[in-house]
């Protein structure tokens, strides 16, 4: 990773983490849904598990991103 990229990431606004959170979560939710369906074979149960995981993981990822931005801000 280039030094410029690290500095740019450290100066993220609130917008970028939100966009990253949702773009990743869409892809990860699709993958999770497929895997859960392959294990359960039930579309209803798979949907409930997948949507629950998506909500919890979306909030967790966003808070994780904001924490790293906050940590970077305290160092300046």
Q: What is the pLDDT of residues 13-67, one digit of tens each?
A: 667 777 777 788 899 999 999 999 999 999 999 999 999 999 998 888 889 888 9
21 located within any domain: yes
47 located within any domain: yes
pTM: 0.63
27 located within any domain: yes
31 located within any domain: yes
24 located within any domain: yes
Give the domain extent around 54.
Answer: 15-75
4 located within any domain: no
Tell whether the model's pLDDT for residue 74 goes beyond 90: no
Whole-angstrom CA distances from 48 to 30, 36, 37, 55 are 13, 10, 11, 11
CA distance linking residue 75 with residue 29, whole number of Å: 34
Query: Who wins on pLDDT, 4 or 40?
Result: 40
């Amino acid at each position: 990773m280039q030094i410029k990229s690290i500095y740019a990431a450290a100066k993220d606004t609130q917008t970028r983490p939100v966009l990253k959170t949702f773009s990743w979560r869409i892809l990860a939710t699709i993958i999770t849904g497929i895997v859960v369906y392959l294990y359960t074979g039930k579309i209803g149960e798979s949907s409930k598990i997948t949507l629950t995981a998506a909500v919890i993981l979306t909030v967790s990822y966003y808070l994780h991103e904001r924490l790293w931005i906050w940590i970077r801000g305290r160092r300046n």
